[in-house]
Amino acid sequence: MENFKSDISQMEFPLSERISASTLRQSLYLFIKKQYPNFNSNNYISVSELKKFREKYITEDLLKDLGELTELEKTVLKSLSEKTTLSDKFDDEEDTQNLTYGQRLADIVAKFGGSWKFIITFGVFIWIWILTNFYIFLNQGFDPYPFILLNLILSCLAALQAPVIMMSQNRREEKDRERAKKDYMINLKSELEIRILHEKIDHLIMHQNNKDASEL
């Protein structure tokens, strides 16, 4: 198999991997030249080396746009360089069997308390309470008008129900934040892969143009 020597690493690679510096996009060519000043348009580079430079170029471009990279961006870049999917980096959705009794109870209360079933049931209960005391017991029953005991029950119910519902909502908000992080990582990786794809397409176009020009 015929080989060629890379002008970057001075290592030998198969001739099929040879890439001419003249076919590189200008921005990528200048990026490589910045690290290797002796690199010029007459030199050659291998496909594997070009891939590493593309990844470094995209990383620095991302760092320039975002500033300091967070763990999320570092995970995306690592996944991009290793050509792995991000799905294996994510934890599975929360298993209801792993929830504590208090968390399950909070979910049940929040689900029931925010339903028409609760509104209708509690409305019927209040009307029965009022009608029983006002009409059946002729306002002489266990809770005569203005229904102080009923007001006390409603106040206690609201005082207990509100924090329980808040606990369920806080946990759901935490899940939403985690889901938003996952969406951000997937979108960021998609953007970076599109950038790399643009680089490859530009390279192929320039390579084809140079090939056509040499045949003329």
d(CA 60, CA 49): 17
Residue 121 binned pLDDT confidence (cut-offs 50, 70, 90)? very high
Residue 215 binned pLDDT confidence (cut-offs 50, 70, 90)? low
Mutual angle of helices 148-215 and 71-82, in 10-degree steps: 40
- Return the pLDDT at 74: 77
In the predicted structure, residue 65 carries a pLDDT above the cut 60? yes
- Return the pLDDT at 120: 93
- Return the pLDDT at 152: 92
Backbone region of residue 70 per phi and psi (left: phi > 0; alpha: psi in -120 to 50; beta: other values): beta
Q: 3, 7, 40: which is closest to 24 by C-alpha?
A: 40
- Return the pLDDT at 125: 93
Beta strands, E only, the chain: 3-5, 12-14, 18-20, 44-46
In the predicted structure, residue 93 carries a pLDDT above the cut 60? no
pLDDT in tens, 195-206: 777 777 766 766
Average pLDDT over residues 179-188: 84
**Of 15-24, 69-78, 117-126, minimum mean pLDDT range:** 69-78
**Of 8-17, 118-127, 202-211, minimum mean pLDDT range:** 202-211
Q: Which two tokens stand for residue 41?
A: 């348009």
d(CA 189, CA 185): 6
Residues in the chain: 216
More confident residue, 125 or 62: 125
d(CA 114, CA 3): 71
Mean pLDDT, the chain, whole residue set? 80
More confident residue, 209 or 125: 125
Average pLDDT over residues 60-80: 75
SS3 4: strand
Are the CB atoms for 185 and 72 separated by under 8 Å?
A: yes
d(CA 110, CA 164): 7
- Return the pLDDT at 87: 63
Dihedral in degrees, nearest 10, Cα atoms 85, 90, 94, 100: 160
